[in-house]
Amino acid sequence: MIWNDRIRDLRQWHKMTLKEVAQKLHTTEATAQRYESTIKNIPYDVIEKYAEIFNVTPSYIMGWDVDYVGSDGEIIEVMRKLPMEEQKRLLEYAKFLTKYNQKNPSD
């Protein structure tokens, strides 16, 4: 199942343990582990909760949407961890990409 892999990958991407996810789901660690590996039918309310935890859509978890780029907050969090000089370089690169994409839309 795609969603088993997606929720495991999202958990790992967010550097969360099964225990942490289980607490947010209000379930046991064993159940959270089964959602990632063996359960074939996951209740929709659980999918919604996973989407909320990882800031994605339920459609992404189900495999109907293919793109995930994280949240605005995640981008800011990553940027704040960089040294000031790297933050400036990242900002300049983002400005460059914005101008480039305005001139060369991919649609």
Q: 21-38, pLDDT tens digit by residue?
A: 999 999 999 999 999 987
Contact present, 62 and 33 (Cβ < 8 Å) = no
DSSP class of residue 81 equals T
User: In this predicted model, what pLDDT tens digit does every residue of 56-104 receive, in sequence order?
Assistant: 888 888 888 766 555 555 676 677 788 899 888 888 888 888 887 777 7
Tell me what pLDDT residue 70 has.
58
Is the model's pTM score more than 0.85? no
2-62 CATH fold: 434 Repressor (Amino-terminal Domain) (1.10.260)
Calpha distance 107→91 (Å, rounded): 25
